[in-house]
């Protein structure tokens, strides 16, 4: 039996619960919510009573062995067409992806035993081999702009995501850091709204006005980076059509710009977007797209109230109440929800199901309906967790978020000598653009001072700096005005400095997810990159543990006489 992705019957139930319900992370306390909210939260949470440890519960298609199960239409098409290639991508795009049922096989690891795949998505393989944006059916004006910016071919995740979003699916996009996820959602959005969009028959009668896409990011830096990306594509004449609503910037100026420029896209941090929305200065009821970038971070406890407001208001027709059964229906027809991150814990899958309509998980080379993924039970034994089996879902998930071209090393150093080790490391690797991570804000200044005192140009970046100072530091770093950016977790996610050739952990990241996001600041879009963790003797066991979780070789090394000396690989336990 085959079911189209858009099939309706499953959603009769979902309609009653999905968008009128609300989940934020795994730990949303009832007392923080008003009664109706608490009731809605309860309704949604009811779907999945099992819990998954966030830290170890990263979930990817590969982790669920879904990737192997994706069925491509190639064989069938070859039979139909006598083996000839389809004439154009556009015709391939008209084929709706299909879902077929199959008997779930028992999987090997204890965790995977419960991760039962009920259905796989049958999809045309040629969707994933696009050599140009034309093949993906993007509108000519948009392609012109891309070409002007030197962008001629889509990345794998873009090839997978653009057709899916264009077909109006709600989607979770997961792909490793630096693989081009931002354009993977921006391009299909800009194909539908704004001056570069695909011309339609309704254009003349289109009464839609106001904000049509809201993009939420957890940090100002990431928000501004997305704004720049949209501006770049829109071009100089239309860049006012995107408005930043990030915290730390002047709020009344943002409100004035909303009024004056009438942007079609707003990009901002959860606090500022919800603040301006609550003040009645941001109208998003007719919004068609809601994107949550770094969604796993946006689900954290800190953002719960703001995210609640955004999810409740964006894309809901005015006059519908959340208790009204028409509310979710109205929103469903209005809003497409797109969730994005390199790391997707199960809480995101659960949230996507609750907020979205027929959501699918999109990765480079694979697409699968979220509904086909069941909750993995937290039955990892210590042995399983430590296992190096390639089928270990935890390891596999973390590997999936790491760019494939990275080299990983660690070396030991006494705390007071770490900056010297850092300097020797930079010289030995001849790194030109370096990001050094620490866990706290205070010591950053000291490291910068020590590096500068030894003739190495450096600057600090952290949340205590004002917005202007932060953007100035970043701009100077991107322009190559100094060599080492010493920073904290603020810069671990989303920051795109393509030239960055070395990431250093001066303090250990708190877990493998944090390691992966920090590491992902280098080796962007297929470039080479190196990650070096400088730790104390007593901390090496943590690095070894992360090495197992990440299933990548983090090789022991030292830096002497201006050279990198790699020690014999330790036995992988």
Ligand X SMILES: Nc1ncnc2c1ncn2[C@@H]1O[C@H](COP(=O)(O)OP(=O)(O)OP(=O)(O)O)[C@@H](O)[C@H]1O
Residues lying near ligand X in the complex (CB under 6 A) are found at 151, 153-155, 158, 175, 177-183, 342, 494, 496, 498, 520, 524-525
529 CA to centre of own chain: 20
Intra-chain end-to-end CA distance of the chain, in Å: 45
The first and second tokens of residue 528, run together, are 């080479």
CB of 249 or CB of 402, closer to ligand X: 402
Q: How far is the CB of 347 from ligand X (least distance, A)?
A: 18
CB of 173 or CB of 311, closer to ligand X: 173
CB of 525 or CB of 572, closer to ligand X: 525
CB of 73 or CB of 180, closer to ligand X: 180
The first and second tokens of residue 554, run together, are 């983090």
CB of 189 or CB of 451, closer to ligand X: 189
Q: How far is the CB of 151 from ligand X (least distance, A)?
A: 4
Q: How far is the CB of 327 from ligand X (least distance, A)?
A: 32
Distance of alpha carbon 194 from alpha carbon 289, whole angstroms: 13
The first and second tokens of residue 381, run together, are 């034994």
The first and second tokens of residue 190, run together, are 């800009």
Distance of alpha carbon 456 from alpha carbon 572, whole angstroms: 36
Give ∠ CA 221-288-331 in degrees, rounded to 5.
115
CB of 218 or CB of 494, closer to ligand X: 494
Q: How far is the CB of 226 from ligand X (least distance, A)?
A: 9
The first and second tokens of residue 335, run together, are 């809003």
CB of 18 or CB of 182, closer to ligand X: 182
- Asked if 176 and 342 count as a contact pair (C-beta separation under 8 A), the reply is yes
Q: How far is the CB of 143 from ligand X (least distance, A)?
A: 12
Q: Which of 348, 290, 298 is nearest to 493 (CA)?
A: 298
CA distances from 547 to 34, 108, 229, 513, 569 (A): 44, 22, 34, 12, 12
Q: How far is the CB of 95 from ligand X (least distance, A)?
A: 23
**Ordered alpha helix ranges (H), 56-174:** 74-81, 89-94, 110-114, 140-148, 156-166
CB of 183 or CB of 532, closer to ligand X: 183
Distance of alpha carbon 359 from alpha carbon 345, whole angstroms: 16
Residues forming a β-bridge with 270: none
Percent of the chain as helix, strand, coil, to the nearest 5 = 45, 15, 40
Q: How far is the CB of 222 from ligand X (least distance, A)?
A: 7
CB of 110 or CB of 222, closer to ligand X: 222
Q: Quick one: which H or E segment has residue 182? A: helix 181-190
Q: How far is the CB of 530 from ligand X (least distance, A)?
A: 17
Q: How far is the CB of 552 from ligand X (least distance, A)?
A: 17
CB of 178 or CB of 268, closer to ligand X: 178
Task: Classify residue 373 by its DSSP letter.
Answer: B
Q: Which residues contact 513 (CB under 8 A, 6 or more apart)?
A: 55, 58, 343, 398, 401
Q: How far is the CB of 180 from ligand X (least distance, A)?
A: 3
Q: How far is the CB of 278 from ligand X (least distance, A)?
A: 28
- Asked if 185 and 337 count as a contact pair (C-beta separation under 8 A), the reply is no
CB of 227 or CB of 342, closer to ligand X: 342
CA distances from 514 to 221, 518, 519 (A): 18, 6, 8
3-class SS of residue 436: strand
Q: How far is the CB of 369 from ligand X (least distance, A)?
A: 22
Rg (CA), the chain: 24
CB of 413 or CB of 491, closer to ligand X: 491
- Asked if 96 and 2 count as a contact pair (C-beta separation under 8 A), the reply is no
Q: Which residues contact 110 (CB under 8 A, 6 or more apart)?
A: 379, 380, 381, 384
């Amino acid at each position: 039996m085959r079911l189209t992705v858009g099939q309706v019957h499953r959603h009769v139930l979902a309609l009653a619960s999905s968008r009128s319900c609300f989940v934020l992370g795994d730990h949303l306390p009832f007392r923080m919510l008003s009664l109706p909210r608490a009731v809605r939260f309860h309704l949604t949470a009811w779907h999945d009573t099992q819990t998954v440890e966030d830290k170890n519960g990263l979930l990817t298609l590969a982790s669920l062995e879904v990737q192997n199960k994706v069925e491509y239409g190639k064989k069938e098409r070859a039979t139909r067409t006598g083996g000839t290639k389809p004439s154009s991508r556009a015709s391939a795009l008209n084929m709706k992806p299909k879902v077929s049922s199959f008997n779930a096989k028992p999987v090997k690891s204890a965790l995977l035993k419960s991760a039962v795949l009920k259905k796989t998505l049958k999809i045309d393989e040629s969707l994933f081999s696009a050599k140009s944006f034309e093949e993906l059916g993007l509108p000519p004006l948009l392609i012109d702009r891309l070409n002007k910016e030197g962008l001629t071919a889509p990345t794998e995740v873009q090839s997978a995501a653009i057709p899916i979003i264009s077909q109006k699916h709600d989607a979770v996009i997961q792909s490793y850091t630096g693989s081009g996820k931002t354009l993977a959602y921006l391009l299909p959005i800009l194909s539908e709204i704004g001056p570069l969009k695909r011309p339609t028959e309704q254009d003349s009668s289109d009464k839609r006005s106001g904000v049509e896409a809201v993009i939420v990011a957890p940090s100002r830096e990431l928000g501004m980076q997305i704004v720049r990306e949209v501006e770049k594509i829109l071009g100089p004449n239309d860049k006012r059509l995107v408005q930043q609503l990030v915290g730390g910037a002047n709020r009344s100026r943002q409100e004035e710009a909303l009024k004056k420029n009438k942007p079609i896209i707003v990009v901002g941090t959860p606090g500022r977007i919800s603040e301006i929305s609550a003040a009645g200065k941001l109208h998003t009821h007719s919004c068609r797209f809601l994107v949550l970038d770094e969604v796993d971070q946006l689900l954290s406890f800190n953002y719960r109230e703001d995210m609640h407001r955004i999810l409740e208001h964006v894309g809901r027709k005015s006059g519908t109440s959340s208790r009204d059964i028409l509310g979710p229906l109205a929103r469903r027809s209005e809003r497409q929800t797109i969730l994005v991150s390199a790391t997707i814990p199960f809480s995101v899958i659960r949230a996507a199901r609750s907020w979205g309509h027929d959501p699918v998980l999109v990765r480079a080379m694979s697409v699968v309906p979220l509904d086909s993924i069941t909750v993995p039970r937290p039955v990892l034994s210590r042995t399983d967790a430590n296992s190096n089996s390639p089928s270990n879902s935890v390891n596999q998930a973390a590997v999936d978020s790491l760019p494939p071209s990275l080299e990983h090393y660690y070396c030991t150093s006494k705390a007071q000598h770490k900056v010297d080790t850092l300097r020797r490391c930079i010289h030995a690797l001849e790194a030109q653009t370096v990001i050094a991570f620490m866990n706290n804000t205070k010591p950053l200044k000291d490291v910068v001072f020590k590096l500068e005192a030894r003739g190495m140009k450096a600057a600090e970046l952290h949340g205590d700096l004002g917005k202007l100072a932060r953007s100035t530091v970043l701009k100077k770093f991107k322009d190559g005005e100094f060599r080492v950016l010493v920073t904290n977790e603020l810069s671990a996610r989303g920051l795109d400095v393509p030239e960055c050739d070395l990431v250093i952990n001066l303090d250990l990241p708190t877990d493998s997810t944090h390691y992966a996001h920090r590491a992902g600041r280098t080796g962007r879009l297929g470039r080479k990159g190196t990650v070096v963790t400088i730790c104390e003797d007593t901390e090496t066991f943590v690095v070894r543990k992360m090495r197992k979780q990440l299933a990548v070789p983090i090789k022991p090394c030292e830096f002497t006489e201006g050279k990198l000396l790699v020690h014999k690989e330790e036995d992988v336990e």
